[in-house]
Amino acid sequence: PGAALVLAAALAVLLGPAGVPARRLWRAYRVPLGFCATGAVTLLVRVGGPGGWLGWAEGGPARAGELMLRTSAASLGVLLFAFTTPMSDLLPRLVKAGVPAPVVDVALVTYRMSFLLLDSVRRIREAQAARLGHTGRAAEWRSLAGLGATAFVRAFDRATRLQAGLAGRGYEGTLRVLVPEARVSVRFVTAALGLLGALAVLTLILERPLT
């Protein structure tokens, strides 16, 4: 029951206090949900055994349902964190939590470069579409090959320029960025701990009759 409670709580927080539009949440959730469903379907069948080379697994629906609930609830929890916590503010603070500074620097640069690369891919696809590069299957494959080659060259060029810019600014192995001071909200922390405690208590209460 804990997975179902976590899923419902995460969904309520995302659509309620977090203010995430339902359409945007579905666009972000449908891909991990597809992976969750794919993993759950494999538990419904068995391969080999006295009944033949392929058949229904004993207790498969129950195990598939449990796996589907747990993985989908975990995915919603990750999305709740992603929708409400800016990575650009979180990553520099990981150094104070004990994460090595070079690891944080690589993650920060990768995070920022990913958006630049996605923007370049979007512009290249728009340019290909304007030149009728998606009119047929052969044209689609040619455009896809050109997209991959151009995106790789642009990413490599951006990385080279970034390295040269850091070297020109006296880079010594650590990216020094200004981190705004974080103010702790007592009301938010209290509400979050209360929600987690309520979920734990409800899980223990509902688990007894099921077991």
- What 8-state DSSP symbol labels residue 190? H
User: Once rounded to an integer, what is the mean pLDDT over residues 11-20?
Assistant: 91
Question: Which pLDDT value is given to residue 74?
Answer: 93
Residue-by-residue DSSP string for 47-64 = ESSTT-SEEEPTTHHHHH
Q: Give the residues across from 46 on adjacent strands.
A: 55
pLDDT > 80? residue 173: no
pLDDT digits (tens, 9 = 90+) for 109-146: 888 888 888 888 888 888 888 888 888 888 888 888 88
- What's the pTM value of the predicted model, to 2 decimals? 0.69
CB neighbour list of residue 89: distance below 8 Å, 6 or more residues apart: 179, 180, 182
Domain boundaries in the chain?
2-85, 90-168
Mean pLDDT of the chain: 85
pLDDT > 90? residue 26: yes
User: How many Cβ atoms are within 10 Å of 6's Cβ, its own excluded?
Assistant: 20
User: How many Cβ atoms are within 10 Å of 96's Cβ, its own excluded?
Assistant: 8
CA distance readout (Å), 44 to 33, 56, 84: 17, 6, 36
The crossing angle, in degrees rounded to 10, of helices 22-41 and 60-84 is: 150
Three-class SS state of 182: coil
Asked whether 78 and 98 are in contact (CB, 8 A), the reply is no
> Which has the higher per-residue pLDDT, 96 or 191?
191
Three-class SS state of 46: strand
User: Once rounded to an integer, what is the mean pLDDT over residues 26-50?
Assistant: 87
